[in-house]
Structure 1
């Protein structure tokens, strides 16, 4: 049980509280402080996602009202990551922080896997330190200043200063007690009681990142969400910025180029968020099941797309429909519910030129109309641009007015609210449908006949050729299979042999590497000793001879063997000289600089290196002396 423990300050990092206790208790070693706080000889060494919190809270007396949940949400960096994690991961992180499995909690946040690195040292704001001294008589580490990508204090508009206290502990800095170090002691020992504020060269983007990061860390109204809702917000803003293609695809190339230009490649590289070095933007738009993106990258996307922090943070709210809320008005003049809000289906599509959206409204009466959007006023709900289908109710009314009442088309057009030409066109269409009904009944009977016939043929083939593949059966069933595939595919799928799963061969890469390392040497020797015109020793020439492809990342011995054997251009030219001189000598031809150079297919001497020219002269002299002796 702890007899005394310092109070928690607003926005104080839990590690700072530990450090202040270590100072006030007068403990000479970290082990003594660890035994006081956790009953162990070592401190939990994660500042970003600490653990052992239930064990830590159990050391307080019953009168002290402090819980692990309160610590997690008010004195750690967990809320910064919480909003972007699925519910199951959030629970896993909280369980890990309350328990003793800190590494599992860190993995669940995605921090360990992310390329975005935390700050190397704990940081502080000189103005915040002065305010803390005035209010609490001592300075302390703020958790807002330790967030990745936050280089300025958004409260005072000054650049943060680095300490020499490590953010991520190691054996060396733990040994010299540079880890559990409170801010007040650091400032005094380094004679930094009055630290000058550095507010030069602070960009608006840096300040915006700091403000959004603080909002995500401190806003307790944030709800746990899922990736689908986050993605829906992005899609909405991408559409407004014209980064969506007509069929819903994303113009990623243009998006990446504009993103790099907006922030600058150097600035993004300093945050480990460069799209040029490690592309990541595409993963923000993946559906559920993909990896979690680091919050800093979400923040950069928010700034680029012009998303308001509050709107994004509360994206659990349903996006406003550009045509208002359901139900919508039915504009079928022949229906009993005309001008009443009964339409419940509204499909939104993008125009083919990508300039806007089209709403397709379908009523239960069959009347389907479209309207370009979004609606700008309440009166827009009463209009339509085109009618896709009038429905059976409309057609019956049209036939009645024309055939039974003998009205003219100009009169019908006034009654139904359509043009005279439309009344004529749709009357003919409705009349044709009526005339086609007997034929359709006959065609339905014909369809049923062919369906039964071809199904029987297929079932007979299944019995006769039992055990054969679907492809083999299709060839033997012939036209029966083709008919079923076109007109009765669902039944065909249910009554076909299951696809045979191909067993994936497991490759022993170590053994393969050893075998091919020897083969590479042998193949290179064959190429080198060939009496034909020389072939340069390259990766390509060796792999072509072996008729295989090498996975160099899994075959280090083979890679080493090939790279030790490949020739440079200069070496290959010298080998060609040797071959040409030997060939000319064997055939009894005269050896000269020109004849050897032409036989070796070498360029003019002016384009050859001194080493190649020297080899050329040496071999000419060698074989000329042999010819003279002979």
Structure 2
């Protein structure tokens, strides 16, 4: 039974409280302290996501008036690393923190191990906080948000954080580093001289909020929110895809290169590896909180405001129905239009709405609509329609009003009135007269000039001539075009015995090349096929290549064998470091779900490697 337990300071990391207990207890060994706190000599004392919290709370409950939820929300980094993950991952991490997991699977679950954004190497502190702590409390402690990878300043004093000499990740995860005061003298400040200080403060606030609140973000809703805001900001094209090139350019321009490098989030790499492109598409993997915070800020929002856009569809012109702006119609200025097509202006990237009414009147304008008056504006009239032309005929020919008077009534320029009144008085031209006979003769001459070309090939010779005839007399063009040619395929017999031997030689060479690659590649039918640039042959002509397939069956690897080869490669790569299971798993790129099946093999290879090295 414990004789005492220290009070927890505001925003103190739970790991820091345990370290202060160890220092005050007088225990000479960490094993004695872990036995006091957890009832066992070895516990995983992890700074960011500590485990066995249920056992610990039961031990210290007589000395503290706190709950598990308070510990997790205010004294660990749980919310920071799980707020942007799925509900299943969030619950899984919480359960492991409460009841223990016995390995590093916590950090695999949150994506920390596989991600390119790394946590700070050393515990960080604020020099001003340190002095205040010593004066008020006689001791100092590690604050939670100071250890977040997206925080570089102290919010209380607006000064840069300093690195201590204590590593966050120790070789022995059961060790308490209790002499905090003695570790602060060797610290170094981060080099942020080229970075906007206001940005640093903003992300410190956002990161602190993210760490102390359970936002319950849903991954699918979050992606929809991102698409809504991208659409609002003009990054979604008319076909629904995102203008990734412009997005990347504007993203880098907004933050500047130095800041993105500091945040370990410069958008680079091939298309499938660029995090900025991936975060705007279906979320097939987790993204580090730093990158969500950057993207949310870029879209003009914060972690506190982003959820208000859930389940929203971007409508730059509001919801239908829309106003008909045809002065000649009885429903003028009435909301009757339901046909709206939204595109993007090529120059300004603003949304352009094309409104089509049943009366035939079609108009467009640039958006988005910001006021009620915007809804009555016309940017461009695309089609006047029969209703408008009928009204024009009545005003000009029956009522015999002047062109100027008509222009005021129909709300167009006088030149437009003159143009369409003259068109109405002109005689309609029949189809045969509309297409001059010399154009048809040109088409016939083109056929005579190139007798062996198809209709499509002739079209490429003179596209404008083809389209002028096609739009006005499609039937004539069809009757006076070359007949479609039917390609006849000559059946050439293949000597499959000879081809089998030839492919076998190529396959053996491919297997040698795959085996010689620096990083292991699994030997499969697919990988061999890609190497010889003839994957379909190996997949679809199995019966024709007996010798080749027999050889492939003898050399191809199943999942287990390939994982063992990757483990061997990873150990060889880490021979200059301390060999630990989690390091080998991460280097080999093996998921934690395979750990139990490979645990014996990994330990066997570690023992063998130590004897070898």
Q: Deviations over 1:496-516 (max 9, x none)?
A: xxxxxxxxxxxxxxx999944
Which structure is larger by alpha-carbon Rg, 1 or 2? 1
- TM-aligned CA deviation for residue 375 of structure 1: 3.5
Q: 1:611 is matched with which residue?
A: none
Q: 1:273 is matched with which residue?
A: 265
Q: 1:72 is matched with which residue?
A: 72
Whether the 8 Å CA contact 1:234–1:285 is kept in 2: the answer is no
Q: 2:49 is matched with which residue?
A: 49
- Distance in 1 between the 2:200 and 2:238 partners? 29
SS in 1 for 2:217: coil
Q: 2:588 is matched with which residue?
A: none
Instruction: Kindly indicate whether residue 297 of structure 2 is the aligned counterpart of residue 296 of structure 1.
Output: no
Q: 2:527 is matched with which residue?
A: none
The equivalences for 1:253-402 within 5 A come to 255=248, 259=252, 263-264=256-257, 268-269=260-261, 271-275=263-267, 280-301=274-295, 305=298, 307=300, 309=302, 313=306, 316=309, 322-323=316-317, 328-333=322-327, 338-341=332-335, 347-361=341-355, 368-375=362-369, 377-387=371-381, 394=387
- Distance in 2 between the 1:517 and 1:412 partners? 80
Alpha carbons of structure 1 residues 355 and 40: separation in structure 2 relative to 1, 3 Å: same
- TM-aligned CA deviation for residue 12 of structure 1: 1.4
Whether the 8 Å CA contact 2:238–2:342 is kept in 1: the answer is no
- Which of 216, 226, 230 is the equivalent residue of 2:226? 230
Whether the 8 Å CA contact 1:79–1:217 is kept in 2: the answer is no
Alpha carbons of structure 1 residues 196 and 113: separation in structure 2 relative to 1, 3 Å: closer
Q: 2:204 is matched with which residue?
A: 213
Whether the 8 Å CA contact 1:230–1:315 is kept in 2: the answer is no
Whether the 8 Å CA contact 1:150–1:209 is kept in 2: the answer is yes
The runs of 5 or more residues in structure 1 that have no matched partner are: 436-510, 521-546, 557-630
Q: 2:93 is matched with which residue?
A: 93
- Distance in 2 between the 1:325 and 1:62 partners? 59
Whether the 8 Å CA contact 2:6–2:21 is kept in 1: the answer is yes
Structure with the bigger RCO (C-alpha within 8 Å, sep 6+) is 2
SS in 1 for 2:107: helix
SS in 2 for 1:291: coil
Alpha carbons of structure 1 residues 98 and 251: separation in structure 2 relative to 1, 3 Å: same
- Distance in 1 between the 2:320 and 2:4 partners? 60
Alpha carbons of structure 1 residues 63 and 282: separation in structure 2 relative to 1, 3 Å: closer
- TM-aligned CA deviation for residue 50 of structure 1: 2.9
Whether the 8 Å CA contact 2:325–2:333 is kept in 1: the answer is yes
- Distance in 2 between the 1:202 and 1:46 partners? 32
Q: 2:464 is matched with which residue?
A: none
The equivalences for 1:194-593 within 5 A come to 202-205=193-196, 208-218=199-209, 220=213, 222=215, 224-225=217-218, 226-234=222-230, 236-237=232-233, 239=235, 248-250=241-243, 252=245, 255=248, 259=252, 263-264=256-257, 268-269=260-261, 271-275=263-267, 280-301=274-295, 305=298, 307=300, 309=302, 313=306, 316=309, 322-323=316-317, 328-333=322-327, 338-341=332-335, 347-361=341-355, 368-375=362-369, 377-387=371-381, 394=387, 417=411, 515-516=508-509, 548=532
Whether the 8 Å CA contact 1:244–1:354 is kept in 2: the answer is no
Whether the 8 Å CA contact 2:238–2:343 is kept in 1: the answer is no
- Distance in 1 between the 2:266 and 2:16 partners? 32
SS in 1 for 2:18: helix
Q: 2:165 is matched with which residue?
A: 164
- Distance in 1 between the 2:267 and 2:355 partners? 41
Q: In the comparison of the two structures, how many residue pairs are matched?
A: 437
Whether the 8 Å CA contact 1:122–1:167 is kept in 2: the answer is yes
More displaced stretch, 369-378 vs 249-258? 249-258
Q: 1:128 is matched with which residue?
A: 129
Alpha carbons of structure 1 residues 234 and 382: separation in structure 2 relative to 1, 3 Å: closer
Whether the 8 Å CA contact 1:209–1:300 is kept in 2: the answer is no
Whether the 8 Å CA contact 2:79–2:214 is kept in 1: the answer is no
Alpha carbons of structure 1 residues 321 and 235: separation in structure 2 relative to 1, 3 Å: closer
Alpha carbons of structure 1 residues 201 and 548: separation in structure 2 relative to 1, 3 Å: closer
- TM-aligned CA deviation for residue 139 of structure 1: 1.1
RMSD: 5.2
- TM-aligned CA deviation for residue 230 of structure 1: 2.9
Q: Deviations over 1:16-48 (max 9, x none)?
A: 122223333344433333344333332234323
Q: Deviations over 1:584-626 (max 9, x none)?
A: xxxxxxxxxxxxxxxxxxxxxxxxxxxxxxxxxxxxxxxxxxx
- Distance in 2 between the 1:108 and 1:258 partners? 29
TM-score (norm. length: structure 2) = 0.56
- Distance in 2 between the 1:28 and 1:364 partners? 88
- TM-aligned CA deviation for residue 371 of structure 1: 1.3
SS in 2 for 1:349: strand
- TM-aligned CA deviation for residue 421 of structure 1: 7.6
- TM-aligned CA deviation for residue 358 of structure 1: 0.8
Q: Deviations over 1:478-501 (max 9, x none)?
A: xxxxxxxxxxxxxxxxxxxxxxxx
- TM-aligned CA deviation for residue 412 of structure 1: 7.4
- Distance in 2 between the 1:27 and 1:322 partners? 67
